[in-house]
Amino acid sequence: MTNTNAFDFTETVARYIAVWSITDPDDRAKAVSELWTADGAEFVEGKQFFGHAALTERVAEAHEAFVANGAYVASGGEDATCHDDVVVFTIRLDHAAGPAGDTAWSARVFLLLDAEGRVRADYQLTVQVLAAA
């Protein structure tokens, strides 16, 4: 696919996948502010998060619940595609232990980007539901 935008959408996808694994709270907050616009929003599982403060809290909660305890690794993005200011890809939580590529949860992510490649709106649509523990 040809990207006619001024930004590299694959870098945006890589930073999106990586933000969920950042352990240091200050580094995570900085990454959120660099990835999303100041008025950016995320829509996931019937919940909505608006602005850097809410997004930073959302990412921190997901990190603590799934990644910080070593149970899962955030991965994905290999199937990313872009059309104008819309980027679509799959994000996964893969089991940290066990066979490589053993996916516990996945979602299709639709990002609406600004001219610099920052996220204005982020929609996560679950494809594979996380099994109850």
CA distance 130 to 106: 8
Query: How large is the average pLDDT for residues 24-31?
Result: 98
Single pTM value for the model: 0.90
Nearest by Cα to 89 from 14, 5, 3:
14
Long-range contacts of 89-96 (CB under 8 A, 24+ apart): 89/13, 90/127, 91/16, 91/17, 91/20, 91/124, 93/66, 93/67, 93/130, 95/71, 96/70, 96/71, 96/72
Each residue's pLDDT tens digit, 36-50: 999 999 999 899 999
Each residue's pLDDT tens digit, 49-90: 999 999 999 999 999 999 999 999 999 999 999 999 999 999
Tokens of 85: 């200011």
Identify the structural domains of the chain with CATH numbers, from first to last. Answer: 9-128 (3.10.450.50)
